[in-house]
C-alpha cells in the first residue's frame, strides 16, 4: 500500500522542501481536475477521482507535519516507537502546563504569550534534532528510534500546549 511519500512522488526523507511538496500536490490535483477529465478519452468515474483527490490531500497533510513525516519514515523501515516516557520529560511537561494554566487563570496575556513563545522555540529545536536522526538515505538505529520516540512525545505535547495557549490568547482579547 503506498504511503504519503509514494502518493505525492516525494523522496522519503525527513527534510522536505516545502515548495517541492506544494508543487507535487498541486500538479497531482491538477491532473485530476474535472475540466481535464472532461476532455480525456476515457474519463475516470467521479467517485474514483474524489478518492484519489482525498488520498493526495491526506498525503499532503501528512508530509506537511514533521511528526507524521517522522513516523512514516520509521514505518517504511519497519520500526515502531516505544511508549516509554522519560521522568524528566514528564516533569518538564508538568511545569510547562502549570505555568501556562497559572498565566491563563490570572488572565495575564503577556505570560501566556511567553509560554507559547517558549514552546515554539523548543518545538523548533526538536524539529532540528529530528532532522539529525534521519540523515538522507541512512537507516535509523534502534537507539535512535528510542530518542525519536521521546522527541515525538514532546512535540505532540508542545502542539497541544501551543494550541491551548493560542486559544487562551484569543479568549483574553
Q: What is the pLDDT of residues 35-78, one digit of tens each?
A: 665 555 555 667 777 888 999 999 999 999 999 999 999 888 88
> What pLDDT score was predicted for residue 36?
61
CA-to-CA distance for 4 and 58, rounded, in angstroms?
8
Give the residue with greater pLDDT, 108 vs 36: 108
18 Cβ contact list (under 8 Å, min separation 6)? 64
Q: How far apart are the first and last CA of the chain?
A: 47
Separation CA 71–CA 157 (nearest Å)? 16
Give the chain's domains with CATH numbers: 4-64 (1.10.287.110), 87-172 (1.20.1280)
Q: Which three cell numbers stand for residue 14?
A: 525527513
Reported as a pLDDT band with limits 50, 70 and 90, residue 159 is very high
Judged against a pLDDT cut of 60, whether residue 131 lies above it is answered with yes
Amino acid at each position: 500500500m503506498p504511503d504519503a511519500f509514494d502518493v505525492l512522488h516525494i523522496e522519503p526523507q525527513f527534510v522536505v522542501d516545502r515548495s517541492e511538496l506544494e508543487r507535487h500536490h498541486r500538479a497531482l490535483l491538477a491532473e485530476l481536475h474535472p475540466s481535464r477529465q472532461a476532455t480525456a478519452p476515457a474519463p475516470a468515474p467521479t467517485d474514483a477521482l474524489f478518492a484519489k483527490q482525498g488520498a493526495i490531500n491526506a498525503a499532503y497533510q501528512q508530509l506537511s507535519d514533521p511528526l507524521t513525516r517522522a513516523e512514516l519514515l520509521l514505518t517504511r523501515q519497519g520500526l515502531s516507537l516505544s511508549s516509554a516516557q522519560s521522568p524528566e520529560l514528564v516533569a518538564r511537561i508538568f511545569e510547562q502546563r502549570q505555568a501556562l494554566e497559572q498565566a491563563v487563570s490570572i488572565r495575564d496575556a503577556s505570560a501566556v504569550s511567553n509560554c507559547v513563545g517558549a514552546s515554539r522555540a523548543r518545538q523548533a529545536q526538536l524539529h532540528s534534532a529530528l532532522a539529525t536522526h534521519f540523515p538522507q538515505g541512512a537507516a535509523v538505529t534502534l537507539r535512535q528510534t528510542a530518542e525519536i520516540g521521546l522527541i515525538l512525545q514532546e512535540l505532540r505535547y508542545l502542539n497541544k500546549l501551543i494550541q491551548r495557549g493560542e486559544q487562551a490568547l484569543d479568549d483574553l482579547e
